[in-house]
Amino acid sequence: MTRNWEQVLISRNSSLKSALEIINKEALRVALVVSETRELEGLVTDGDIRRALLQGKGLDTIVNEVMTTTPLTAQIGTDRTALLRMMKDNDLLFIPLLDGRRIAGLETLNDALVSKEKRENPVFLMAGGFGTRLKPLTDKEPKPLLKIGARPILEILIRRFSEAGFHNIFISTHYLSSKIVDYFGDGSSLGVNITYLEEEVPLGTGGALGLLSDYLINDLPIIMMNGDVLTKAEFGTLLDFHVKNKVSATVCVREYNYEIPYGVVNGDGRKITSMVEKPIHRYFVNAGVYVLSPAIARSLIKNTPIDMPTILEQQRLATDDVIMFPLHEYWLDIGSLQDFQRAQRDVIGLDLS
Protein backbone atom coordinates (compact mmCIF):
# COMPACT_ATOMS: atom_id res chain seq x y z
CA MET A 1 0.00 0.00 0.00
CA THR A 2 1.41 3.38 -0.99
CA ARG A 3 2.34 5.56 1.97
CA ASN A 4 1.16 8.92 0.67
CA TRP A 5 -2.40 7.96 -0.24
CA GLU A 6 -3.83 10.50 2.21
CA GLN A 7 -2.30 13.25 0.10
CA VAL A 8 -4.57 12.44 -2.87
CA LEU A 9 -7.90 12.93 -1.08
CA ILE A 10 -10.19 15.62 -2.49
CA SER A 11 -13.81 16.73 -2.14
CA ARG A 12 -16.43 16.53 -4.89
CA ASN A 13 -16.71 20.34 -4.98
CA SER A 14 -13.01 20.87 -5.68
CA SER A 15 -11.93 22.09 -9.12
CA LEU A 16 -10.22 20.03 -11.80
CA LYS A 17 -7.26 22.35 -11.36
CA SER A 18 -6.98 21.23 -7.72
CA ALA A 19 -7.25 17.59 -8.77
CA LEU A 20 -4.51 18.10 -11.35
CA GLU A 21 -2.20 19.64 -8.78
CA ILE A 22 -2.65 16.56 -6.59
CA ILE A 23 -2.20 14.11 -9.46
CA ASN A 24 0.98 15.77 -10.69
CA LYS A 25 2.48 16.43 -7.25
CA GLU A 26 1.99 12.95 -5.82
CA ALA A 27 2.72 11.10 -9.10
CA LEU A 28 -0.04 8.57 -8.37
CA ARG A 29 -2.14 9.63 -11.39
CA VAL A 30 -5.36 9.65 -9.37
CA ALA A 31 -7.27 11.81 -6.89
CA LEU A 32 -9.69 10.06 -4.53
CA VAL A 33 -12.98 11.89 -4.00
CA VAL A 34 -14.24 11.54 -0.44
CA SER A 35 -17.00 12.94 1.76
CA GLU A 36 -16.41 14.83 5.00
CA THR A 37 -16.53 11.47 6.82
CA ARG A 38 -13.98 10.02 4.34
CA GLU A 39 -16.44 7.78 2.55
CA LEU A 40 -15.23 7.13 -1.00
CA GLU A 41 -17.50 8.88 -3.51
CA GLY A 42 -15.43 8.37 -6.65
CA LEU A 43 -12.08 9.06 -8.22
CA VAL A 44 -10.60 11.30 -10.89
CA THR A 45 -7.78 10.15 -13.14
CA ASP A 46 -5.46 11.78 -15.62
CA GLY A 47 -7.63 10.33 -18.41
CA ASP A 48 -10.87 11.70 -16.91
CA ILE A 49 -9.44 15.21 -16.95
CA ARG A 50 -8.18 14.98 -20.54
CA ARG A 51 -11.62 13.79 -21.71
CA ALA A 52 -13.25 16.69 -19.86
CA LEU A 53 -10.94 19.20 -21.56
CA LEU A 54 -11.78 17.72 -24.97
CA GLN A 55 -15.48 18.16 -24.15
CA GLY A 56 -14.88 21.88 -23.65
CA LYS A 57 -14.86 21.89 -19.86
CA GLY A 58 -12.38 24.23 -18.18
CA LEU A 59 -10.09 23.58 -15.24
CA ASP A 60 -12.56 25.47 -13.06
CA THR A 61 -15.09 22.63 -13.56
CA ILE A 62 -15.87 20.85 -10.29
CA VAL A 63 -14.70 17.29 -9.77
CA ASN A 64 -18.27 16.04 -9.26
CA GLU A 65 -19.00 16.59 -12.98
CA VAL A 66 -16.29 14.28 -14.31
CA MET A 67 -15.38 11.78 -11.59
CA THR A 68 -15.84 8.03 -11.90
CA THR A 69 -18.51 7.16 -9.34
CA THR A 70 -18.19 3.35 -9.41
CA PRO A 71 -14.48 2.55 -9.25
CA LEU A 72 -13.24 -0.96 -8.58
CA THR A 73 -12.37 -1.21 -4.87
CA ALA A 74 -11.26 -3.78 -2.32
CA GLN A 75 -11.52 -4.08 1.42
CA ILE A 76 -8.51 -3.32 3.55
CA GLY A 77 -6.64 -6.52 4.38
CA THR A 78 -7.26 -8.12 0.98
CA ASP A 79 -4.33 -10.34 0.03
CA ARG A 80 -1.72 -8.38 -1.96
CA THR A 81 -1.43 -11.08 -4.60
CA ALA A 82 -5.17 -10.93 -5.17
CA LEU A 83 -5.00 -7.14 -5.48
CA LEU A 84 -2.24 -7.33 -8.06
CA ARG A 85 -4.27 -9.89 -10.02
CA MET A 86 -7.30 -7.59 -9.93
CA MET A 87 -5.24 -4.71 -11.27
CA LYS A 88 -3.74 -6.84 -14.03
CA ASP A 89 -7.08 -8.35 -15.06
CA ASN A 90 -8.77 -4.93 -15.19
CA ASP A 91 -5.82 -3.01 -16.63
CA LEU A 92 -5.62 -0.72 -13.58
CA LEU A 93 -2.73 1.13 -11.95
CA PHE A 94 -4.42 1.38 -8.54
CA ILE A 95 -7.24 0.09 -6.35
CA PRO A 96 -8.71 2.13 -3.46
CA LEU A 97 -8.84 0.15 -0.20
CA LEU A 98 -11.91 0.56 1.99
CA ASP A 99 -12.84 -0.12 5.58
CA GLY A 100 -16.55 -0.57 5.05
CA ARG A 101 -17.26 2.49 2.89
CA ARG A 102 -14.49 4.70 4.27
CA ILE A 103 -11.19 5.09 2.43
CA ALA A 104 -8.37 3.28 4.21
CA GLY A 105 -5.58 3.06 1.67
CA LEU A 106 -4.53 2.85 -1.97
CA GLU A 107 -2.81 -0.14 -3.56
CA THR A 108 -0.71 0.67 -6.65
CA LEU A 109 1.49 -1.05 -9.16
CA ASN A 110 5.07 0.11 -8.82
CA ASP A 111 8.45 -0.29 -10.45
CA ALA A 112 9.42 -3.10 -8.10
CA LEU A 113 6.58 -5.24 -9.45
CA VAL A 114 6.33 -4.07 -13.03
CA SER A 115 9.44 -3.60 -15.15
CA LYS A 116 9.65 -0.49 -17.29
CA GLU A 117 8.25 -1.23 -20.71
CA LYS A 118 10.80 -0.87 -23.49
CA ARG A 119 9.26 0.88 -26.46
CA GLU A 120 10.67 0.43 -29.94
CA ASN A 121 8.79 3.36 -31.46
CA PRO A 122 10.98 5.96 -33.18
CA VAL A 123 11.19 9.34 -31.47
CA PHE A 124 11.87 12.19 -33.88
CA LEU A 125 13.17 15.44 -32.37
CA MET A 126 13.35 18.52 -34.59
CA ALA A 127 16.48 20.50 -33.75
CA GLY A 128 17.49 22.22 -36.98
CA GLY A 129 16.14 25.71 -36.40
CA PHE A 130 18.17 28.91 -36.20
CA GLY A 131 16.70 30.11 -32.90
CA THR A 132 16.55 33.64 -34.28
CA ARG A 133 14.35 35.00 -31.50
CA LEU A 134 16.88 33.86 -28.90
CA LYS A 135 19.77 35.89 -30.31
CA PRO A 136 22.42 36.66 -29.15
CA LEU A 137 22.34 33.39 -27.17
CA THR A 138 22.14 31.42 -30.41
CA ASP A 139 24.84 33.27 -32.32
CA LYS A 140 27.38 30.55 -31.55
CA GLU A 141 25.22 27.85 -29.95
CA PRO A 142 22.23 25.99 -31.43
CA LYS A 143 19.07 26.52 -29.40
CA PRO A 144 18.74 22.82 -28.41
CA LEU A 145 22.08 23.09 -26.58
CA LEU A 146 21.12 26.13 -24.51
CA LYS A 147 21.04 25.05 -20.88
CA ILE A 148 17.92 25.09 -18.77
CA GLY A 149 19.28 24.69 -15.27
CA ALA A 150 22.15 22.21 -15.45
CA ARG A 151 21.41 20.59 -18.82
CA PRO A 152 20.67 21.56 -22.45
CA ILE A 153 17.03 21.62 -23.53
CA LEU A 154 17.52 18.68 -25.88
CA GLU A 155 19.23 16.56 -23.23
CA ILE A 156 16.31 17.10 -20.87
CA LEU A 157 13.96 15.85 -23.59
CA ILE A 158 16.07 12.79 -24.40
CA ARG A 159 16.33 11.86 -20.74
CA ARG A 160 12.54 12.12 -20.40
CA PHE A 161 12.06 9.74 -23.32
CA SER A 162 14.68 7.33 -22.00
CA GLU A 163 12.97 7.24 -18.60
CA ALA A 164 9.70 6.37 -20.38
CA GLY A 165 11.30 3.40 -22.14
CA PHE A 166 12.01 4.93 -25.56
CA HIS A 167 15.49 4.36 -26.96
CA ASN A 168 15.32 4.84 -30.75
CA ILE A 169 15.97 8.58 -31.08
CA PHE A 170 16.26 10.48 -34.36
CA ILE A 171 17.34 14.13 -34.43
CA SER A 172 17.00 16.47 -37.41
CA THR A 173 19.80 19.03 -37.54
CA HIS A 174 20.85 21.98 -39.70
CA TYR A 175 22.11 25.10 -37.90
CA LEU A 176 25.43 24.37 -36.12
CA SER A 177 24.61 20.69 -36.46
CA SER A 178 28.16 19.50 -35.66
CA LYS A 179 27.85 20.91 -32.14
CA ILE A 180 24.76 18.80 -31.48
CA VAL A 181 26.43 15.67 -32.88
CA ASP A 182 29.61 16.29 -30.87
CA TYR A 183 27.64 16.79 -27.65
CA PHE A 184 25.39 13.70 -27.79
CA GLY A 185 27.42 11.29 -29.92
CA ASP A 186 25.61 7.99 -30.40
CA GLY A 187 23.46 8.57 -27.31
CA SER A 188 24.84 5.63 -25.35
CA SER A 189 25.71 7.85 -22.37
CA LEU A 190 21.99 8.57 -22.03
CA GLY A 191 20.88 4.98 -22.58
CA VAL A 192 19.54 5.58 -26.10
CA ASN A 193 20.58 5.15 -29.71
CA ILE A 194 20.72 8.43 -31.67
CA THR A 195 20.59 8.76 -35.46
CA TYR A 196 21.11 12.22 -36.98
CA LEU A 197 19.23 13.41 -40.06
CA GLU A 198 20.93 16.43 -41.63
CA GLU A 199 18.77 18.98 -43.43
CA GLU A 200 20.79 20.27 -46.38
CA VAL A 201 18.41 23.25 -46.52
CA PRO A 202 15.85 24.25 -43.88
CA LEU A 203 12.81 22.02 -44.40
CA GLY A 204 10.28 23.76 -42.19
CA THR A 205 8.53 22.33 -39.15
CA GLY A 206 7.53 19.11 -40.95
CA GLY A 207 9.75 18.60 -43.99
CA ALA A 208 12.51 16.81 -42.08
CA LEU A 209 10.02 14.02 -41.37
CA GLY A 210 10.51 12.87 -44.95
CA LEU A 211 14.16 12.08 -44.15
CA LEU A 212 12.99 9.53 -41.59
CA SER A 213 11.27 7.24 -44.10
CA ASP A 214 14.43 5.26 -44.93
CA TYR A 215 14.81 4.27 -41.28
CA LEU A 216 11.26 3.00 -40.71
CA ILE A 217 11.52 -0.78 -40.75
CA ASN A 218 8.16 -1.46 -39.12
CA ASP A 219 4.73 0.09 -38.76
CA LEU A 220 5.16 1.47 -35.26
CA PRO A 221 3.80 5.00 -34.70
CA ILE A 222 6.33 7.83 -34.54
CA ILE A 223 6.49 10.37 -31.73
CA MET A 224 7.56 13.68 -33.23
CA MET A 225 8.38 16.73 -31.17
CA ASN A 226 9.86 20.20 -31.43
CA GLY A 227 13.28 20.22 -29.82
CA ASP A 228 12.64 23.50 -27.98
CA VAL A 229 9.69 22.40 -25.85
CA LEU A 230 10.08 21.86 -22.12
CA THR A 231 7.38 19.54 -20.79
CA LYS A 232 6.50 16.89 -18.25
CA ALA A 233 4.12 15.17 -20.69
CA GLU A 234 3.70 11.43 -20.14
CA PHE A 235 4.92 10.10 -23.48
CA GLY A 236 3.89 6.52 -22.78
CA THR A 237 0.35 7.62 -21.97
CA LEU A 238 0.27 9.70 -25.17
CA LEU A 239 1.39 6.76 -27.30
CA ASP A 240 -1.13 4.40 -25.68
CA PHE A 241 -3.89 6.94 -26.37
CA HIS A 242 -2.93 7.10 -30.05
CA VAL A 243 -2.78 3.33 -30.46
CA LYS A 244 -6.08 2.78 -28.64
CA ASN A 245 -7.87 5.22 -30.94
CA LYS A 246 -6.45 3.63 -34.12
CA VAL A 247 -5.84 6.93 -35.93
CA SER A 248 -3.21 8.23 -38.34
CA ALA A 249 -2.23 11.28 -36.29
CA THR A 250 -2.58 12.62 -32.76
CA VAL A 251 -1.80 16.26 -32.05
CA CYS A 252 -1.02 17.36 -28.51
CA VAL A 253 -2.85 20.55 -27.64
CA ARG A 254 -2.70 23.01 -24.79
CA GLU A 255 -5.61 25.00 -23.43
CA TYR A 256 -5.16 28.73 -23.96
CA ASN A 257 -7.50 31.24 -22.34
CA TYR A 258 -7.95 34.80 -23.54
CA GLU A 259 -9.89 37.26 -21.39
CA ILE A 260 -11.39 40.31 -23.09
CA PRO A 261 -10.68 43.14 -20.63
CA TYR A 262 -14.02 44.87 -21.24
CA GLY A 263 -17.70 44.17 -20.94
CA VAL A 264 -18.90 42.72 -24.26
CA VAL A 265 -22.26 43.90 -25.63
CA ASN A 266 -24.10 41.73 -28.15
CA GLY A 267 -26.90 43.17 -30.20
CA ASP A 268 -29.41 42.76 -32.99
CA GLY A 269 -29.57 46.12 -34.75
CA ARG A 270 -30.10 48.70 -32.00
CA LYS A 271 -31.42 46.14 -29.53
CA ILE A 272 -29.03 44.73 -26.92
CA THR A 273 -29.46 40.96 -26.69
CA SER A 274 -26.86 40.26 -23.98
CA MET A 275 -24.05 41.79 -21.97
CA VAL A 276 -21.09 39.77 -20.65
CA GLU A 277 -18.49 41.23 -18.32
CA LYS A 278 -14.90 40.38 -19.33
CA PRO A 279 -15.70 37.05 -21.05
CA ILE A 280 -13.03 34.37 -21.26
CA HIS A 281 -12.54 32.57 -24.56
CA ARG A 282 -10.95 29.11 -24.44
CA TYR A 283 -8.91 27.69 -27.31
CA PHE A 284 -6.67 24.71 -27.94
CA VAL A 285 -3.22 25.57 -29.31
CA ASN A 286 -0.73 23.24 -30.97
CA ALA A 287 1.82 22.05 -28.37
CA GLY A 288 4.40 20.86 -30.92
CA VAL A 289 4.15 17.18 -29.92
CA TYR A 290 2.68 14.58 -32.28
CA VAL A 291 2.16 10.86 -32.77
CA LEU A 292 2.08 9.92 -36.44
CA SER A 293 1.55 6.88 -38.60
CA PRO A 294 4.76 5.94 -40.46
CA ALA A 295 2.69 6.15 -43.66
CA ILE A 296 2.67 9.94 -43.24
CA ALA A 297 6.47 10.08 -43.20
CA ARG A 298 6.67 7.80 -46.24
CA SER A 299 4.23 10.00 -48.16
CA LEU A 300 6.45 13.09 -47.98
CA ILE A 301 8.83 14.08 -50.78
CA LYS A 302 12.37 14.12 -49.41
CA ASN A 303 14.18 17.43 -49.04
CA THR A 304 10.99 19.37 -49.75
CA PRO A 305 10.08 22.11 -47.24
CA ILE A 306 6.66 21.79 -45.64
CA ASP A 307 5.22 22.74 -42.25
CA MET A 308 3.39 20.47 -39.82
CA PRO A 309 0.01 22.27 -40.01
CA THR A 310 -0.02 21.64 -43.78
CA ILE A 311 0.85 17.96 -43.33
CA LEU A 312 -1.83 17.50 -40.70
CA GLU A 313 -4.48 19.38 -42.66
CA GLN A 314 -3.78 17.25 -45.73
CA GLN A 315 -4.07 14.13 -43.60
CA ARG A 316 -7.29 15.34 -41.99
CA LEU A 317 -8.90 16.00 -45.36
CA ALA A 318 -7.77 12.62 -46.72
CA THR A 319 -8.64 10.36 -43.80
CA ASP A 320 -10.63 12.36 -41.23
CA ASP A 321 -8.75 10.61 -38.42
CA VAL A 322 -6.55 13.32 -36.90
CA ILE A 323 -7.36 13.73 -33.21
CA MET A 324 -6.33 15.84 -30.20
CA PHE A 325 -4.62 14.88 -26.94
CA PRO A 326 -4.80 17.66 -24.33
CA LEU A 327 -1.65 18.25 -22.29
CA HIS A 328 -2.39 19.38 -18.76
CA GLU A 329 1.16 18.73 -17.57
CA TYR A 330 3.78 21.46 -17.49
CA TRP A 331 4.55 22.76 -21.00
CA LEU A 332 6.60 25.67 -22.27
CA ASP A 333 7.60 26.51 -25.84
CA ILE A 334 10.98 28.22 -25.46
CA GLY A 335 10.65 30.61 -28.39
CA SER A 336 11.84 33.91 -26.93
CA LEU A 337 14.27 35.31 -24.38
CA GLN A 338 11.34 35.81 -22.01
CA ASP A 339 10.38 32.13 -22.33
CA PHE A 340 14.01 31.12 -21.79
CA GLN A 341 14.19 33.15 -18.59
CA ARG A 342 10.90 31.67 -17.38
CA ALA A 343 12.21 28.15 -18.03
CA GLN A 344 15.24 28.89 -15.84
CA ARG A 345 12.87 29.75 -12.98
CA ASP A 346 10.44 26.91 -13.58
CA VAL A 347 12.97 24.10 -13.87
CA ILE A 348 14.03 24.49 -10.23
CA GLY A 349 10.80 22.98 -8.94
CA LEU A 350 10.02 20.61 -11.82
CA ASP A 351 12.62 17.87 -11.33
CA LEU A 352 13.48 18.09 -15.03
CA SER A 353 17.10 19.19 -15.02
CATH fold of the domain at 5-108: CBS-domain (3.10.580)
Q: What is the pLDDT of residue 29?
A: 78
Give the residue range(s) of CATH 3.10.580.10 domains in the chain.
Answer: 5-108
Query: Biggest alpha carbon distance in the chain?
Result: 72
Residue 110 pLDDT > 80? no
pLDDT tens-digit profile of 176-209? 999 999 999 999 888 899 999 999 888 888 889 9
Give the residue range(s) of CATH 3.90.550.10 domains in the chain.
Answer: 119-349
The answer to whether the predicted template modeling score (pTM) of the entire model surpasses 0.85 is no
Average pLDDT, stretch 292-297?
94
Domain 119-349: homologous superfamily in CATH: Spore Coat Polysaccharide Biosynthesis Protein SpsA; Chain A (3.90.550.10)
pLDDT tens-digit profile of 254-288? 988 888 999 999 999 889 999 999 988 888 999 99
Q: What is the pLDDT of residue 325?
A: 94
DSSP annotation string for 215-269: G--S---EEEEETTEEE---HHHHHHHHHHHT-SEEEEEEEEEEE-SSEEEEEET
Q: What is the pLDDT of residue 27?
A: 67
Number of CB atoms found within 10 A of residue 273's CB:
9
Choice among 115-124, 242-251, 307-316, 338-347 with the minimum mean pLDDT: 115-124
CA 242, 168, 115, 33 torsion: positive or negative? negative
